[in-house]
Amino acid sequence: LADLIGHACVALAPIHASIERHVLDAGRLHGDDTTVPLLARGGTKTARLWTYVRDDRPWDGGAPPAALFKFSSDRRKEHPTRHLAGWQGVLQSDVYGGYNDLYLADRSPGPVGSALCWSHGRRKFFELADIKATARKGKKVAEEISPIALDAVKRIDEIFAVEREISGLSAAARLEVRQQRVAPLVHDLHDWMLAERAGMSKHNPVAKAINYMVEGKGRWEAFTAFLDDGRLCLTNNAAERALRGIALGRKSWLFAGSERGGDRAAFMYTLIVSAKMNDIDPQAWMADVLARLPDLPVSRLPELLPWHWKTQQDAVNAA
């Protein structure tokens, strides 16, 4: 099986390279990573699969969606720095410090912009205001639920509600709505959080949830970057969706047998997830691509990319 996958990776390398170029041509990417067990002496060690997702559909950008995956044996910051070497744009992510070298002012070809995920920020408050989870633990809701955290969730949900209304609109339309309706909500939230934090101990869990969003150089600016750019999303959910299959897969394939196996897994996930993002069956697509590749001129390789292949199949089905 390993040999078959190896041969398939070699055959599909031109398609993978084209998807990678397409992803890295984007001016905005979602980035995230997840754990994957790597076989090591005496057991397994924790390795990583990284993803960089191009999805312009929320702002009607027109470019087909695709995801690029990379494997590494650890989570050192040198990995995302290498993965995105030469790329410049805005990276939507969580607050993981491993991306920090991308944001340096003296980086070549220039610093990457940072846009942070409101789902992560909301989650900190939601965990402190989750009535159902508290009840399941057998605790008294009135004593355990933080009213301030609950208020924060309600305020953030107002922002999410507006964002749902403008999903799929043009960048210009999204920007206009954000300036008129979302910016006041965000600024009020910021002032309210600072006022509430002023009366708390620094050890208070709610204070820590607030600090997650407002503490640190450029942190709040990165959380509010979406207000000035209609292309940006409020969350990094696109990257989390791309990684969901890996979380399920860990229960089936248990671990990567070697670093080469990890690289091949990342290679195949790039193809599989990109196909799914374009609403096509990965198995049917790859089977057809492998059958057609040997006789296809290099100039016609773009025809086999998931989004072009889907157009051809739709035309055949319509006929």
The total of other beta-carbon atoms located within 10 Å of residue 209's CB is 24
pLDDT reading at 63 higher than 80: yes
DSSP 60: T
- Residues 82, 79, 123, 247, Cα dihedral to 10°: 120
Rg (alpha carbons) of the chain, rounded to whole number: 22
**Residue 66 φ then ψ, to 5°:** -165, 160
Where residue 141 falls among pLDDT bands split at 50, 70, 90? very low
Mean pLDDT of 272-279: 97
Element (DSSP H or E) covering residue 157: helix 147-165
Helix, strand and coil percent figures for the chain, each rounded to 5: 60, 15, 25
Least confident of 171-185, 238-252, 284-298: 238-252
* Tokens, residue 270: 């790039």
Q: Please state the separation of Cα 91 from the chain's center in Å.
A: 9
Report yes or no: 233 and 58 within 8 Å, Cβ to Cβ: yes
Helix (H, G, I), strand (E, B) or coil at 34: strand
Helix (H, G, I), strand (E, B) or coil at 67: strand
Beta strands in 82-197 (DSSP E): 90-93, 113-116
Mean pLDDT of 182-198: 98
Residue with tokens 């312009």: 56
> Cα 232–15–271 angle (5° rounding)?
60
pLDDT digits (tens, 9 = 90+) for 110-125: 999 999 999 999 999 9
Mean pLDDT of 236-255: 81
Where residue 255 falls among pLDDT bands split at 50, 70, 90? low
Helix (H, G, I), strand (E, B) or coil at 286: helix
Report yes or no: 93 and 225 within 8 Å, Cβ to Cβ: no
pLDDT score of 123: 95
Mean pLDDT of 217-229: 97
pLDDT reading at 180 higher than 80: yes
